[in-house]
Amino acid sequence: MSRILIIGDHCNLSSEIGAALKSLELPLEYAAGHADALKRLRMHSFGVVVTNCDSAVEEDLALLAEMREIRPGLKCIVLARQSTPDEVIAALRARVFACFTPPFDACEIAHLASHAASESQWRDDIQVLSAKPGWVSVRVNCRMVTAERLMTFAKELSAQLPPDTRQEVMVALREILLNAMEHGAAFNPEQVVEVTSIRTARSFVFYVHDPGAGFRRELLTHAAIANPVDDPAAHIAKREEAGMRPGGYGLLLASGTVDELIYSEIGNEVLLIKYVDPEQPTETK
Amino acid sequence: MSRILMIGHQCELSEEIGSALKAVNLTLECAAGHADALALLRMRTFSVVITSCENKVEADLALLAEMRSIRPELKCILLTLSSTPNEVIAALRAHVFACYTPPFSAREIARVASYAATDGEWKDDIQVLSAKPNWLSVRVNCRIVTAERLMTFERELTARLPERTRREMMLALREILMNAIEHGAAFNPDRTVEVKAIHAARSFVFHVRDPGTGFRFDHLKHAAIANPPDNPAAHVLEREKEGMRPGGFGLLVASGTVDELIFNEIGNEVLLIKYLPAGDRETA
């Protein structure tokens, strides 16, 4: 388990993240600022750095480049006041581990930082295939932590959506992405899922392609989405019968939060569309 | 040049197609019906069959299976009264050469038939990757004739759209497909383009991916879409300077006929979206 360096010892968030990490018995230190962080990195080995939540992404990426001169394998969790799609793409390309903007959730950040501290095979887990502000395509290895990482970037890329819309799209994407990795690749880290996020003038589109053999809808009796209208809990009994954990609401949830959820014939490709009213005010970040 | 068999010589369309084919010196025979077609195929070699325009797709595909048991490499141009997405998919999977429903253009059918008559390398040109009525993914070889063939199927798949919407989508797809095949693969038949057609409840989406290295928008001076607002013909001079044929309106036309035309970073993938107005969704 490698050590974690948190930059910015003066703010509440840093303290909260620190407290959450300490409760997990993770070794950590605080740095007062960027120069102090560089100094500490020269003196001790750290595997993870969490940047200051008051900084800008551009500044954090410049700092990361400096820090990697000292510790090339360093993982970085970027906390920033705000992000633009260009900055999120730059962060992906700089192999930032995860990226967060307000409102921050200290527990979520600490949770990812703890993953980062124990990860050694992360560096090529998210490969950028093609990226410009309205269109980002990535290939990701099928690991839970990679999905969690990708979700932080996807959340930032959808920052211009109205908050409710954004939350709904993220819920759907998360379900579909985890389904793809679990059912399409059995969380085999050697296999990859391709995810494309496209922001158009009137819609937000996600396309997810997993390496699996797909599924047949009539075999989905363990999922709530396949329940007959007159028996909305039918899948629960099926799951018990098959000895599966409780759940099976993922697809139902996903289909209820986006406007269109369409599978290819085989079932290993899925398109999520959320239509956006061009007149609807968007959150400017 | 191989011979063409046309089924159903009674109707006006058959006569028009026959005249157009004769005008380009193609050998043509007519069969009175399905049984006659099978008899003629047993007696002589034909490489192309054009079905009767009064049949259903299902009947034509059954006939095609019979005909291919006699002439396995037979190419079939399917004319039919109407088509459903499932029938179009079945036709693609049966390696039908092209598919048409009314209104028929005898000239276009004859043109594609003449391609079929001279084409030896067609059978694996359109590979169905995944197909259900609202999602068709194909991989096509980069040849003009393959693009023409694919367009006939895509047109049928969009048959439930309002006519104007359908025409606009087809115009945009055609331009983008031809661009992909020409600029993304230099018409190299060994290379492939992937095309997805997705019919959602509120939109119709095409996604085209070519094998090329893409392009940069600032290098598109020969295309009308890059003209500055105060000089709408700037690309004409650029094309003359570069010794290029007149044209360059493809992307401009495509972007003007769909609601969204978006290229990826590299420029080798493009997404075309047409949103369906509330009144039109019911027909979709």
Q: Check residues B226 and A86 and name the one with the higher pLDDT.
A: A86
Choose from A8-17, A231-240, B76-85, B214-223 the range with maximum mean pLDDT. Answer: B76-85
Higher pLDDT, B140 or B277: B140
- Distances, alpha carbon B252 to alpha carbons B121, B237, B241, in Å: 33, 17, 20
Give the three-state DSSP class for A66.
helix
Query: Based on C-alpha coordinates, what's the Rg of chain B?
Result: 20
The pLDDT of residue A283: 45
Q: Report the pLDDT value the prediction gives residue A124, as an integer from 0 to 100.
A: 86
pLDDT band at A279 (very low <50, low <70, confident <90, very high): low
Question: Considering chain A, what is the average pLDDT of its residues?
Answer: 91
The verdict on a CB contact (< 8 Å) between A130 and B264 is yes
Residues B96-108 have pLDDT tens digits of 999 999 999 999 9
Is B260 within 8 Å of A201 when comparing Cβ atoms?
A: yes
Last residue of a domain, one of A95, A123, A151: A123
Of A198, A202, A260, the CB nearest to B200: A260
Is B265's CB within 8 Å of A130's CB? Answer: yes
What is the strand order of the sheet A135-141 is part of?
A126-132, A135-141, A192-199, A203-209, A269-275, A260-263
CB contact under 8 A, B264 and A205: no
User: Are the C-beta atoms of residues A272 and A254 closer than 8 Å to each other?
Assistant: yes
Reported as a single tens digit per residue, the pLDDT across B17-31 is: 988 998 888 988 999
Q: What is the pLDDT of residues B39-77, one digit of tens each?
A: 999 999 999 999 998 889 999 999 999 999 999 999 999
Chain A residues near residue B135 by CB distance under 8 angstroms: 262-265, 269, 271
- In this model, does residue A169 exceed pLDDT 80? yes
* C-alpha to C-alpha distance for B148 and B168, rounded to whole angstroms: 16
How far apart (Å, rounded) are the C-alpha atoms in residues A74 and A48? 6
For testing contact with chain B, the best of A93, A139, A260 (most B CBs within 10 A): A260
CA B49, CA A116: separation in Å to the nearest integer? 64
- Where does chain B hold its CATH 3.30.565.10 domain(s)? 124-284
Mutate to test the interface with A, among B130, B196, B255 (most CBs of A within 10 A): B130
pLDDT given for residue B277 in this prediction: 84
Q: State the residue for tokens 């606009």.
A: B168
* Nearest residue to B245 (alpha-carbon basis) of B224, B266, B227, B222: B222
Q: Between chains, do B264 and A137 touch, taking CB under 8 Å as contact?
A: yes
Domain check: are A132 and A59 in the same one? no
Question: Looking at chain B, which residues constitute the CATH 3.40.50.2300 domain(s)?
Answer: 1-120
CB contact under 8 A, B203 and A135: no
If asked whether residues A260 and A162 sit together in one domain, one would say: yes
Is B200 in contact with A269 (Cβ distance < 8 A)?
no
The answer to whether A215 contacts chain B (CB < 8 Å) is no
A67 and A208 share a domain? no
Domain boundary among A123, A143, A164: A123
Q: Is the pLDDT of residue A40 over 50?
A: yes
Query: Can you give the pLDDT at residue A107?
Result: 95
Please tell me whether residues A97 and A229 are part of one structural domain.
Answer: no
CB A129 within 8 A of CB A138: yes
Average confidence (pLDDT) over B277-282: 70
**Residue A119 predicted with pLDDT over 90:** no
Q: Is the pLDDT of residue A183 over 50?
A: yes
Same domain, A95 and A133: no
H helices within B56-210, ranges in order? 57-70, 85-93, 106-118, 144-157, 163-183
Cross-chain CB nearest to A198 (options B135, B259, B262) = B262
Among residues A123, A142, A163, the one where a domain terminates is: A123
State the Cα angle at A93 between A92 and A97, rounded to 5°. Answer: 40
Q: Are residues A117 and A250 in the same domain?
A: no
Q: Are B251 and B179 in contact (CB under 8 A)?
A: yes
| Whether A46 contacts A3, CB under 8 Å | yes
pTM score: 0.87
Q: Provide DSSP, A171-204.
A: HHHHHHHHHHHHHHHTT-TTSEEEEEEEE-SSEE
Contact A263 B135 (CB under 8 A): yes
Question: Is B6 in contact with B15 (CB distance < 8 Å)?
Answer: no
pLDDT of residue B281: 66
Q: Which long-range contacts (CB under 8 A, 24 or more apart) does B21-30 make?
A: B21/B110, B21/B113, B21/B114, B24/B110, B24/B114, B25/B1, B26/B1, B26/B113, B26/B114, B26/B117, B27/B1, B27/B2, B27/B3, B28/B3, B28/B4, B29/B3, B29/B4, B29/B5, B30/B5, B30/B6
CA separation for the pair B81, B101 (Å, rounded): 6
State the pLDDT confidence band at A45, using cuts at 50, 70 and 90.
very high
Measured torsion, CA atoms of residues A248, A209, A173, A89, in degrees rounded to the nearest 10: 150
CATH number at residue A147: 3.30.565.10
Q: Which of B273, B276, B281 should be substituted to probe chain A, the one whose Cβ sees the most A Cβ atoms within 10 Å? A: B273
Chain B CB within 8 Å of residue A132 CB? yes
In A, minimum Cα distance to B261 occurs at A200
pLDDT of A280 reads 60
Superfamily for B124-284? Answer: Histidine kinase-like ATPase, C-terminal domain (3.30.565.10)
Q: Using CB atoms, which residue from A202, A264, A273 is nearest to B135?
A: A264
Give the least confident one: A33-42, A147-156, B24-33.
B24-33
Distance between CA atoms of residues B52 and B36, nearest Å: 12
Selected residue of A262, A270, A277 to mutate for chain B interface (largest B Cβ count, 10 A): A262
DSSP codes joined into one string, A75-122: EEEEE-S---HHHHHHHHHTT-SEEE-SSP-HHHHHHHHHHHHH-SS-
Segment A76-84 mean pLDDT:
96
pLDDT by residue (tens digit) across B141-167?
A: 999 999 999 999 999 999 989 999 999
Residues of A with Cβ-Cβ distance to B130 under 8 angstroms: 264-266, 269
Name the percent of chain A lying above pLDDT 70: 96
- Strands A203-209, A192-199: pairing is antiparallel
Distances (CA, A) of B18 to A90, A160, B52: 61, 59, 12
A222 and A252, same structural domain?
yes
Q: What total number of domains does chain A contain? A: 2
CB of A255 less than 8 A from some CB of B: no
- Please report which residue ranges of chain B form alpha helices under DSSP H: 12-23, 34-43, 57-70, 85-93, 106-118, 144-157, 163-183, 234-241, 250-257, 278-281
Q: How wide is the angle at C-alpha A141 spanned by C-alphas A165 and A100, nearest 5°?
A: 40
Same domain, A103 and A138: no
| Min Cα–Cα distance to chain A from B4, Å | 35
Distance CA B77, CA B100 (A): 8
Tokens 């995860």 belong to A98
Mean pLDDT score, A98-121 = 93
Q: Is the pLDDT of residue B222 over 90?
A: no
Per CATH, the homologous superfamily of domain B1-120 is Response regulator (3.40.50.2300)
B275 contact residues in A (CB cutoff 8 A): 202-203, 275
Per-residue pLDDT, B284: 40
Q: Do B130 and A265 touch (CB under 8 A)?
A: yes
pLDDT of A272 higher than 50:
yes
